């Protein structure tokens, strides 16, 4: 008997009993053909295939399978990126709360670098995905070169500026001169490594857009292995290495990322991905570069809005002292690490949107986003529940100071309450980015962060006299609003009409 076809927006998540693709639920949706996707006993085989990184056509692959094949390595990639910050915090926390505060403040400054590089990464993923969907691998290679060239120029200028003004940037955020003195070396080295950060972000974005997510994952696994091995050596002076303290963590991080970039360049030129760079691609192409700049500038503006908002949150918390800031820093690093599976699933949605719009299949692109939203909300809700229950033992792994521990527990539990909304909102934003509709994502961030989270955090902390807990409480409220605003804008469907 023929089944009735339904609009992709009719896809729903149903929790069922029995075996499941996820460890705690079965996600059942309908494919574009109307066939029910039953619980698949070969889910683990699909996960293993995703890690092997075989070239696939994601414009024809079954959507539920395509999401898993892309999302699993992207999740691991995102987790590996966060391991850099967690490894720094883990070793530096042995030096005291002020040392942890150094990393927190310096990382809040570094978020500007991450925001700019992530903005141009959006352009890299969107343009390369669209060319791959059009079966234009030569165009994808040319776009990749333009993205990398732009990144080199911008990162060099930012690196020179940041390394020169590192002490002044620290003083803008921190009220403690002791923290500034401890953090100058760490911050200067991290800002000087802008080129490495840009390259590892941008080249991985190119891999993701092409559907070569496993290569991006392996890059960060390799880079993190180097960082983790060298971290304690440079921080504490193990063996023949000198002890640099907090600054040593920055040295290890930059060496690890540089090794990752070398690994990326090898695969771009000699690997087995969707395309290879050749000498004929190494030239300036003004039309392609302008397209990259247009999308990248929009993505940069979007990320800078978010970044400036997070720096504002750090500034509000910093007025309550180093222990509150250290507790927040530990909690936010754990949260960032935990929500990376959500980042992986949303990145999978961005790739599928870009490639399927390139192939002229907007309905399939929309359906892919609904799959990602369903999976994302379920996964992150489970992680959030674990954080609420086990916040104390998790935070205690990173600090022995009682006051820092209390603040960290509060920040972790309240942040976890916003996980479901953040999971959905992130998928909507990634769908817009994958389509090249960057300004819609920027509107979401502006409304939720600047019109909701920052004013609410300031009001609760200062005028309602709630202190740091008032700042922490604003986070889940803004995350829930992000999901609502994103769903409304996604349903309007204007993102399907964007040309890239």
pLDDT tens digits, residue range 138-175?
989 999 999 999 999 999 999 898 888 888 888 877 65
Q: What pLDDT was estimated at residue 175?
A: 52
Q: What is the pLDDT of residues 215-250, one digit of tens each?
A: 999 999 999 999 999 999 999 998 889 999 889 999
What is the 3-class SS of the chain, one letter each residue? Answer: CCCCCCCHHHCCCCCCCCCCCCCCCCCCCECCCCCECCCCCCHHHHHHHHHHCCCCCCCCCCHHHHHHHHHHHHHHHHHHHHHHHHHHHHHHHHHCHHHHHHHHHHHHHHHHHHHHHHHHHHHHHHHHHHHHHCCCHHHHHHHHHHHHHHHHHHHHHHHHHHHHCHHHHHHHHCCCHHHHHHHHHHHHHHHHCHHHHHHHHHHHHHHHHHCCHHHHHHHHHHHHHHHHHHHHHHHHCCCCCCCCCHHHHHHHHHHHHHHHHHHHHHHHHHCCCCCCCCHHHCCCCHHHHHHHHHHHHHHHHHHHHHHHHHHHHHHHHHCCCHHHHHHHHHHHHHHHHHCHHHHHHHHHHHHHHHHHHHCCCHHHHHHHHHHHHHHHHHHHHHHHHHHHHHHHHHHHCCCCCHHHHHHHHHHHHHHHHCHHHHHHHHHHHHHHHHCCCHHHHHHHHHHHHHHHHHHHHHHHHHHCCCCHHHHHHHHHHHHHHHHHHHHHHHHHCHHHHCCC
- Given pLDDT bands bounded at 50, 70 and 90, which one contains residue 202? very high
pLDDT digits (tens, 9 = 90+) for 446-488: 888 899 989 999 999 888 878 888 888 998 999 999 999 999 9
Q: Which pLDDT tens digit goes with each residue over 302-321?
A: 877 877 787 788 888 888 88
Q: pLDDT of 59-89, one tens digit each?
A: 888 888 899 889 889 888 877 877 777 788 8
The predicted pLDDT at position 351 comes to 94
pLDDT tens digits for range 365-423: 999 999 999 999 999 999 999 999 999 999 998 888 898 999 999 999 999 999 999 99
Domain boundaries, the chain: 56-497
Give pLDDT, residue 145: 93
């Amino acid at each position: 008997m023929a089944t009735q076809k339904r609009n992709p927006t009719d896809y729903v998540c149903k929790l069922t009993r029995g075996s499941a693709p996820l460890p705690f639920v079965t996600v059942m949706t309908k494919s574009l053909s109307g066939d029910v996707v039953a619980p698949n006993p070969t889910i683990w085989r699909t996960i293993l295939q995703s890690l092997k990184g075989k070239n696939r056509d994601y414009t024809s692959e079954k959507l539920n399978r395509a999401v898993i094949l892309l999302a699993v390595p992207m999740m691991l990639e995102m987790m590996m990126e966060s391991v850099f910050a967690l490894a720094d915090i883990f070793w530096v926390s042995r030096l005291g709360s002020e040392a942890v505060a150094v990393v927190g403040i310096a990382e809040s400054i570094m978020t500007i670098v991450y925001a700019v590089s992530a903005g141009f990464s959006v352009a890299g993923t969107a343009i390369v995905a669209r060319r791959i969907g059009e079966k234009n691998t030569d165009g994808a290679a040319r776009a990749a070169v333009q993205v990398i060239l732009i990144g080199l120029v911008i990162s060099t200028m930012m690196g020179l500026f940041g390394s020169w003004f590192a002490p002044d940037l620290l003083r803008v955020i921190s009220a403690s001169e002791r923290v500034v003195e401890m953090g100058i070396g760490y911050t200067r080295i991290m800002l000087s490594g802008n080129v490495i950060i840009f390259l590892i972000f941008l080249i991985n974005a190119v891999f993701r857009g092409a559907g070569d997510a496993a290569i991006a994952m392996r890059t960060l696994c390799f880079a993190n292995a180097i960082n983790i091995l060298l971290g304690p050596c440079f921080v504490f002076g193990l063996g023949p290495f000198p002890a640099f303290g907090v600054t040593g963590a920055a040295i290890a991080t930059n060496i690890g990322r540089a090794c990752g970039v070398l690994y990326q360049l090898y695969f771009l030129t000699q690997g087995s991905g969707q395309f290879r760079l050749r000498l004929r691609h190494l030239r300036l192409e003004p039309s392609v570069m302008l397209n990259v700049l247009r999308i990248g500038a929009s993505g940069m503006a979007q990320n800078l809005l978010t970044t400036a908002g997070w720096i504002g949150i750090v500034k509000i918390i910093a007025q309550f002292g180093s222990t509150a800031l250290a507790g927040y820093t530990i909690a936010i690093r754990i949260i960032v690490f935990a929500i990376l599976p959500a980042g992986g699933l949303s990145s999978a949605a961005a790739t599928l949107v870009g490639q399927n719009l390139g192939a002229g299949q907007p309905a399939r692109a929309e359906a892919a986003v609904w799959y990602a939203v369903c999976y994302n909300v379920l996964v992150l809700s489970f992680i959030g529940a674990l954080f609420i229950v086990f916040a104390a033992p998790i935070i205690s792994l990173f600090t022995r100071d009682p006051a820092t521990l209390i603040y960290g527990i509060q920040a972790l539990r309240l942040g976890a309450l916003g996980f479901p909304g953040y999971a959905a909102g992130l998928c909507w934003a990634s769908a817009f980015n994958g389509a090249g509709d960057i300004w819609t994502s920027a509107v979401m961030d502006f409304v939720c962060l600047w019109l909701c989270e920052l004013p609410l955090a300031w009001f609760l902390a200062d005028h309602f006299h709630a202190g740091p807990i008032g700042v922490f409480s604003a986070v889940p409220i803004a995350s829930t609003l992000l999901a609502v605003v994103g769903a409304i804008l996604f349903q309007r469907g204007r993102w399907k009409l964007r040309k890239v």
